[in-house]
Structure 1
Amino acid sequence: MTKNHNHQHEGHNHQHHAVIALTNVNNAFIVGIVLNMLYVIIQVFIGFRINSLALLSDAGHNFLDVGALALSLLAFKLNKSKANNRYTYGFKKSSILISLFNAIVLLISIGAIGYEAILRFRHPEPLPGITIAIVSGIGIIVNAVSALMFFRNRDSDLNVKSAFLHLASDAVVSLGLVIGGIIMYYTHIYWIDPILSLVVCAVIIVSTWNLLKDSLRLSLDGVPDTITLKKIKAAALKVKGVVEVHHIHVWAISTTQNALTAHLTVENDTTMLQIQKIKEEVKHHLQHENIHHPTLETETRLTRCTENEC
């Protein structure tokens, strides 16, 4: 009785913490969108006024990040959608598709920024470096504060992770622009402006490439990087009565939930009641391997399917 009570109590605590985490992430998205949109407006206004490509390209980058945050917030809400007769998993997969879309859009933006930077590099224009430094200093504060709001939950969801990476990289870019603005102010070397634009491009590539790979793999129903089939097999074989585990398929339902189908081979004389208990115990072990929706089929040594039959 005590064991069951403790298990229920732990389950209640997990649900309570999950609700708090969902609320915190939802608020982080909203605050991040508002702060970064205000900063984009400031960058565009000042960038056009002083004709700074570095500020304008970073504004374009930040605007895309605002769009990415908005889409991630949408995915975060769709991820909680309920199943229906047409969509038996709800709209959970949308979180993966939106993550992939965000990565592609960010990489496409590199081409436009890079092209303009090369043109400007040939014909640098005098710029007020101290103004660039001040505006970029505001960007460090905005992006750092926004990124910190996602820090605690960055490993819980691919979209939350992408939001954290984008905002953290934006803070680093802003720091680079501050340094570049100060250098321009004291040295009057104005080709630093397009150079900084190319640095923005490099940062986008680095911060986005892994996100693109992860989201593309998950959209193709690949195995999530947090899961290994060896551990899945080992977890199932821990259960007494399981002789073999094969025909394993693992895929992501969303950026936070994973599904599995597998065949369990048991002894020939295993009863139906024993099989039911074996399944329940295997599912319990799989929960610790980040498998949320397992479907298990059992067979005996005599009825075990061959590779082709499976």
Structure 2
Amino acid sequence: MSKQHAHHFSPALGKVFYWAIGLNLAYTVIEAIFGFATDSMGLLSDAGHNLSDVASLLIALLAYKAALRPASARFTYGLGRATIEASLINAVILYIAVVFIVIESIERLQSPVVVNGDVVAWVAGIGVIINGVTTWMLMKHSRGDLNVKGAFLHMAADTLVSVGVVISGIVIRFTGWYQLDPIIGLVVAAIIAVSSYSLLRESLNLSFDAVPKDIDIHKIENIIDATPLVVSYHHLHIWPLSTTQVALTVHVVVDSPSDVDRTIDSLRARLSSAGIAHSTIEVETKNKVCKEEYHDRITHDRASE
């Protein structure tokens, strides 16, 4: 079995995931402890979000590991699609977290709880550092990979959220405005919902084999049209193998059988430069296509009689 469909990722990415999971799990525990101790909805909602982020990072890591496995007799394309499913699961997890945060924050608005602003500010300050470091580690790996990009966006949003919780803690410390704590919880929910929408939409599209958004199908069509010796083409299909690799199949028509090999080599190189990692190109001659079209037309006419 050929292993040409094994997916390639940066070796450093695995270590980044391990560090990110460890740091955020430790902070989630700390934040939850102080959140319960101080009855802070801001801390508890952020802890819940951070816990979902730990789960998201773990899912992304497992998908990354699965995608590294080579193709087999049973999984001939490998397990790269695990990264697509992981992105979709992570998006759903985030919106579930939004629902719970909104419900609890509304209850706290109706029945305000006294919160220790100093503790809230200090704990959230630690979060700014941890989330910021995690975001920085994921940043360079997030370009061109929806699976990693989802984790990166979560951590970037968390960094902003932690900054907001720090501000709320300071304001509560000096003004005693305890309603600000659940308001921050609602702001957290809004940030999560907005920042996660593109992740949900794109991962859902990819799960249905949509053309990835960074692939311009019109550009691909122009590349095929402009390839020397290509007379025409049909049966063009483009779909994702993973969050980083794209596959294509197409039937192209040439004048002569002697043009077949040169056409395949030229077109495959052009498609590769356009972001198509795996291309299956079937080349036909004009005479063969004409004969097939004639046969199909005769068959259709006889069936209509």
- TM-score, with length taken from structure 2: 0.90
CA contact (8 A) 2:118 2:169 kept: yes
Counterpart in 1 of 2:271?
Answer: 286
CA contact (8 A) 1:258 1:291 kept: yes
Counterpart in 2 of 1:234?
Answer: 222
Counterpart in 2 of 1:12?
Answer: none
Root-mean-square deviation over aligned CA pairs: 1.5
Q: Tell me the alpha carbon deviations over residues 68-119 of structure 1, each in whole angstroms, 9 at most, x when there is no partner.
A: 0011011111111111121111211111111101111110111111001101
Unaligned runs of 5+ in 2: 1-6, 297-305
| 1:34 corresponds to 2:22 | yes
| 1:181 corresponds to 2:169 | yes
Counterpart in 2 of 1:275?
Answer: 260
Higher mean C-alpha displacement, 62-71 vs 77-86: 77-86
* Amino acid aligned to 1:280: D
C-alpha separation in 1, matches of 2:167 and 2:232: 60
* Amino acid aligned to 2:162: S
C-alpha separation in 2, matches of 1:127 and 1:45: 14
Unaligned runs of 5+ in 1: 1-17
Counterpart in 1 of 2:138?
Answer: 150
CA contact (8 A) 2:135 2:156 kept: yes
What is the CA-CA distance between 1:247 and the residue it aligns to? 2.0
1:160 to 139, 148, 151: 148
What secondary structure is seen at the aligned counterpart in 1 of 2:186? helix
C-alpha separation in 2, matches of 1:281 and 1:295: 13
What is the CA-CA distance between 1:123 and the residue it aligns to? 0.9
C-alpha separation in 2, matches of 1:23 and 1:187: 50
C-alpha separation in 2, matches of 1:238 and 1:65: 46
Q: Tell me the alpha carbon deviations over residues 130-164 of structure 1, each in whole angstroms, 9 at most, x when there is no partner.
A: 21111111101000100101111211311111111
C-alpha separation in 2, matches of 1:176 and 1:266: 62
* Amino acid aligned to 1:296: I
Counterpart in 2 of 1:255?
Answer: 243
Counterpart in 1 of 2:231?
Answer: 243
C-alpha separation in 2, matches of 1:245 and 1:227: 19
1:215 to 198, 203, 210: 203
- Identity of aligned pairs, percent? 40
Moved over 6 A (4+): none
Counterpart in 1 of 2:299?
Answer: none
| 1:44 corresponds to 2:32 | yes
What secondary structure is seen at the aligned counterpart in 2 of 1:213? helix
Counterpart in 2 of 1:103?
Answer: 91
Q: Tell me the alpha carbon deviations over residues 188-222 of structure 1, each in whole angstroms, 9 at most, x when there is no partner.
A: 11000110000110111112111011110000000
Q: Note the 1:8-19 alignment, pairs <5 A.
A: none
| 1:298 corresponds to 2:283 | yes
Counterpart in 1 of 2:77?
Answer: 89
CA contact (8 A) 1:65 1:166 kept: yes
C-alpha separation in 2, matches of 1:61 and 1:39: 11
- TM-score, with length taken from structure 1: 0.89
Counterpart in 2 of 1:139?
Answer: 127
Number of equivalences: 286
C-alpha separation in 2, matches of 1:290 and 1:254: 13
CA contact (8 A) 1:246 1:264 kept: yes
Counterpart in 2 of 1:205?
Answer: 193
C-alpha separation in 2, matches of 1:49 and 1:212: 34
C-alpha separation in 2, matches of 1:193 and 1:296: 59
Counterpart in 1 of 2:4?
Answer: none
What secondary structure is seen at the aligned counterpart in 1 of 2:248? strand
CA contact (8 A) 1:233 1:245 kept: no
C-alpha separation in 1, matches of 2:11 and 2:209: 29
What is the CA-CA distance between 1:299 and the residue it aligns to? 2.4
What secondary structure is seen at the aligned counterpart in 1 of 2:247? strand
* Amino acid aligned to 2:184: L
Counterpart in 2 of 1:75?
Answer: 63
CA contact (8 A) 2:168 2:181 kept: yes
Higher mean C-alpha displacement, 217-226 vs 245-254: 245-254
